[in-house]
Amino acid sequence: MPKLVIEGGKSLKGEIKLQGAKNSVLPILAATILSEEESVIHGCPNLSDVAITVEILNFLGCKTKFEGESLIINPKNINKNKIPEMYMRKMRSSIIFLGALISRMGCAEISLPGGCELGPRPLDLHFSGLRQLGMISEESHGKIKCNVGRGLVGNNIVLSFPSVGATENLILSAVKAKGETIITNAAREPEIQDLANYLNKCGAKIRGAGEGTIKIEGVDRLQGAHYSIIPDRIAAITYMAATAVTSGDILINRVYPEHLSSVIPIFEECGCIIEIFDKGKLRLIAPERLLSNAVIRTMPYPGFPTDAQPPIMTMLCAAEGSSIIIENIFESRYKHVGELLRLGADIKVEGRTAIVNGVKRLSGADVRAEDLRGAAALVVAGLCAEGTTKISGLRHIDRGYEDIEGNLCKIGANIKRI
Ligand code: UD1
């Protein structure tokens, strides 16, 4: 079983170039099938979730080819409308192909995405929204068959919660529907804006993405486009937390600081100095000892991102003082806590609230990652823990971080994969 082995205590210093955003590239790759023309997606991160998405594109009949960090997708000859269960189980975000397939093919067959590590993740908002656009679905034997009858028709859709995935599925379905769709209480994440920017480059008419109300005027056809994925804000936060806990000093290249506006104040409260330069550069200089009495509530964007909660929790473990985290987005997002306790952390969880009492030092141990961002929390912990930390469950980290050990080694960490 592969493991990351970290000798903790090395101060991280140097420069890092951020990967493209995982949560942008997945829906954008699904969106490429809305057109019959070739698209080229630049800054495609090398992640296992991207590899699965490419497998799905190939399965559907697309031709795909990597040229360095660019992925060329030719969706002209798509001839399937089913996503096999194996892919649905491997990657929950394969659900995003539902909106893309009904838009391109008029019908789709999927199975429910596999058991999820963050607690129950219903799809009611996806389905009720898509039904309001005219999708008909029938579920039997674990398969869901969907079709659009005579075609999708724009509508006014109000989401009871700004779900990221539901907003993306609705955008994908509405861009070629007849007439106008208005999505109220839409998710405002930067990745939604990125998806809309790509689609608009293909000829879609989407206004308001990144705001609570999105207006989409349906168009008959889309062309292909060249498009660059935005940098990954959660990877940025992870590298910042890793630097903070090792009293380090890093310069992150290709970052959009405005995407980090709810998180930067937490680093500053802990005693880090953040400098923002032109051309997407951010420097973090960490103090000798972090201090924190933070109260963090995870919220939909522009609030504090749930995906940043695990690596930031590790930072709070290493800071003097007591901090509180309230996880409002996912029910089971504290699976990393038990493993952090093995490393000597002092955390108490009651329901959605975690109380983190900073400790003088964490000490290396064998731990196991149970989900993607929980894995990031363990890597950050291993970097500041005394002695050796061995992390298993690497399939989780490979879903979302491109060459994490290579990147960390470049800035002075002692980390290797065995
Ligand atoms: C996306 C991100 C994930 C991030 C999350 C919240 C991708 C590939 N993943 O996941 O990294 O943590 O946004 O920022 O972009 N919900 C319902 N019914 C639905 C849909 C969602 O009740 O139909 C609930 C979920 O159970 C959860 C909350 O809404 O409690 C947020 O989910 P959602 O925004 O949909 O997250 P994802 O799109 O799954």
Question: Ligand 1 in contact with 124 (CB < 6 A)?
Answer: yes
CB 304 within 8 Å of CB 255 = no
pLDDT (tens digit per residue) in 372-407:
999 999 999 999 999 999 999 999 999 999 999 999
> What pLDDT, on the 0 to 100 scale, is given for residue 120?
63
Q: How far is the CA of 168 from the centre of ligand 1 (A)?
A: 11
Question: Ligand 1 in contact with 185 (CB < 6 A)?
Answer: no
> What pLDDT, on the 0 to 100 scale, is given for residue 112?
81
Q: Which of 26, 90, 96, 163 to mutate to test the pocket of ligand 1 (most atoms within 8 A of CB)?
A: 163
Q: Which of 112, 121, 169 to mutate to test the pocket of ligand 1 (most atoms within 8 A of CB)?
A: 121
Question: Ligand 1 in contact with 134 (CB < 6 A)?
Answer: no
From the candidates 44, 62, 107, 116, which is the catalytic residue? 116
105 pLDDT exceeds 90? yes
Minimal-distance CA residue to ligand 1 atom 8: 23
Q: How far is the CA of 36 from the centre of ligand 1 (A)?
A: 29
β-partners of residue 348 are 355
CB count within 10 Å of CB 279 equals: 6
Question: Ligand 1 in contact with 170 (CB < 6 A)?
Answer: no
Q: 325-360 burial, b if ≥16 CB within 10 A, otherwise e?
A: bebebbeebbbbbebbebbbbebeeeebebebebbe
β-partners of residue 416 are 5
Question: Ligand 1 in contact with 131 (CB < 6 A)?
Answer: no
139 pLDDT exceeds 80? yes
Question: Ligand 1 in contact with 26 (CB < 6 A)?
Answer: yes
Question: Ligand 1 in contact with 23 (CB < 6 A)?
Answer: yes
Closest CA to 102 of 57, 140, 146: 146
Catalytic annotation present for 409: no
| Confidence bin at 321 (pLDDT 50/70/90) | very high
| Whole-number average pLDDT of the chain | 96
Question: Ligand 1 in contact with 308 (CB < 6 A)?
Answer: no
Q: 85 or 177, which is more confident?
A: 177
CA distance 335 to 329: 14
In the three-class reduction of DSSP (H, G, I as helix; E, B as strand; rest coil), residue 111 is classed as strand
In this structure, of 89-93, 150-154, 349-353, the range with the lowest mean pLDDT score is 89-93
Q: How far is the CA of 164 from the centre of ligand 1 (A)?
A: 5
Question: Ligand 1 in contact with 121 (CB < 6 A)?
Answer: yes
Closest CA to 330 of 169, 168, 121, 125: 121
CA distance 396 to 368: 10
> What pLDDT, on the 0 to 100 scale, is given for residue 311?
98
116 pLDDT exceeds 80? no
CA distance 223 to 346: 54
72 pLDDT exceeds 70? yes
> What pLDDT, on the 0 to 100 scale, is given for residue 90?
87
CA distance 21 to 94: 16
Q: Which of 29, 234, 329, 396 to mutate to test the pocket of ligand 1 (most atoms within 8 A of CB)?
A: 329
| Confidence bin at 117 (pLDDT 50/70/90) | low
Closest CA to 366 of 344, 390, 386: 390
pLDDT (tens digit per residue) in 281-305:
999 999 999 999 999 999 999 999 9
Could you tell me whether strands 70-74 and 63-67 are parallel, antiparallel, or unpaired per DSSP bridges? Answer: antiparallel
Q: Which atom of ligand 1 is nearest to the CA of 331?
A: 30
CA distance 380 to 67: 32
119 pLDDT exceeds 80? no
Q: What is the dihedral of CA 186, 192, 198, 202, to 10 degrees?
A: -20
Exposed, middle or buried: residue 201 (CB in 10 Å: 0-12, 13-18, 19+)? middle
Q: Which atom of ligand 1 is nearest to the CA of 22?
A: 8
Q: Which atom of ligand 1 is nearest to the CA of 187?
A: 34
352 pLDDT exceeds 90? yes
Minimal-distance CA residue to ligand 1 atom 13: 164
> What pLDDT, on the 0 to 100 scale, is given for residue 30?
98
Question: Ligand 1 in contact with 126 (CB < 6 A)?
Answer: yes
